[in-house]
Copies of this chain bind each other. A is one copy, B any other.
Amino acid sequence: MPDLNKPVAKAAVIGLGSMGYGMAVSLVRAGFEVAGYDVRPEITVRFAAERGAGTVTRAASAAEAAANAEIIIVVVVNADQTSAVLLGEGGALHAARPGAVVVSCATMAPERSRALAREVAAHGLLFLDAPISGGAVKAREGALTVLASGPEAAFAKAAPALDAMAATLYRLGDEPGTGSSFKIVNQLLAGVHIAAACEAIALAKRLGLDLAKVYEVIKSSAGNSWMFENRVPHILEGDYTPRSAVSIFTKDLGIVADISRAENFPVPVSSAALQLFLMTAAAGMGRDDDASVVRLFARIAGLDLPEQKA
């Protein structure tokens, strides 16, 4: 319940996809006055219409959204987009007030996060490297996991918004880049586990096994993973509505590939997983649920996977 005697805290949410939209909802619920912006005008309109002008403002640019905000949350797709909405034409840093904090939530290479931190500092603002995990439902519930690093002052300034958006906040050190590194390690594993789940389910189908039984058995066995447990039901239901899309993993395993090549470091298992996501995207399923990797196997090998009930 917002304290009505307290001055209303002001936040900007830049990027109103399913994650950013949910986070803005969580901030409004916690009593924030939220200015929302998305490069896609239709999304900003939907956001303004759903939330009402009393608590949320539709901004015409990232700069306008950020102009009065103490906390500027950037939750776009990648480092390039983050850079564009901060530094590009109409970017937030052209209007943001010194002393405000930029909370950077996109998954990106740690070096990109460190470079952004320097740019933000040059404008007199604080920067928190704060990639998120949990999906759209948890974003809306204020129950995200945030993997954050940055100076104490940035954590302190961002604290009310982090409280509103996250169930779990990991404080991973003083240096921007560390939060991004943790996120990348998580995405490496998450991507491999989805690809492996699809490979295993496809092989099980080829071997003639009952897939519902496979799910039941593996879920209770040493072969289980968080992703196996979460994604295989999409396959059993034949439902490839994107909860998280194939394109997220071509992007995130692409970052793993970029980082590891820059470090001269081999990553053979995640490279194989990346290729499967790329094949799935190449086959026209880039915007479908990431469990669509199993449909790639099915198309290649002529498997009859479960179909969605009408």
Contact = CB atoms under 8 A, between A and B. Distances in A.
Interface in A191-240: 192-193, 195-197, 199-200, 202-204, 206-209, 213-214, 217-218, 220-228, 230
A53 interface: no
Contacts of A204: 181-182, 185
Interface string A258-269: 011001111111
Given A200-B188, A213-B172, A221 B266 contact: no
A95 interface: no
A227 B217 contact: no
Number of copies: 2
A24 interface: no
A45 interface: no
Q: Interface extent on A, as a size class?
A: 35 or more
A44 interface: no
A189 interface: yes
B192 A196 contact: yes
A275 B263 CA distance: 21
A78 interface: no
Contacts of A268: 199, 272, 275-276
Contacts of A147: 217
Interface in A66-90: none
Contacts of A276: 268-269
Contacts of A184: 203, 207
Contact of A265 (B186, B193, B203, B269): B203
A101 interface: no
Contact of A189 (B200, B209, B256): B200
Contacts of A213: 170, 172, 182
A22 interface: no
Given A196-B189, A203-B188, A218-B186, A209 B223 contact: no
25 contacts: A133-B222, A134-B222, A178-B209, A181-B207, A182-B204, A182-B214, A182-B217, A184-B207, A185-B200, A185-B204, A186-B223, A188-B203, A189-B200, A189-B228, A192-B192, A193-B193, A196-B196, A203-B263, A206-B265, A222-B230, A223-B226, A225-B225, A269-B272, A269-B276, A271-B272
Interface of A: 110, 133-134, 145, 147, 168, 170, 172, 178, 181-182, 184-190, 192-193, 195-197, 199-200, 202-204, 206-209, 213-214, 217-218, 220-228, 230, 256, 259-260, 263-273, 275-276, 297, 300-301
What 6 A-B pairs have minimum CB-CB distances, sorted nearest first?
Answer: A189-B223, A225-B225, A272-B272, A186-B223, A192-B196, A181-B207
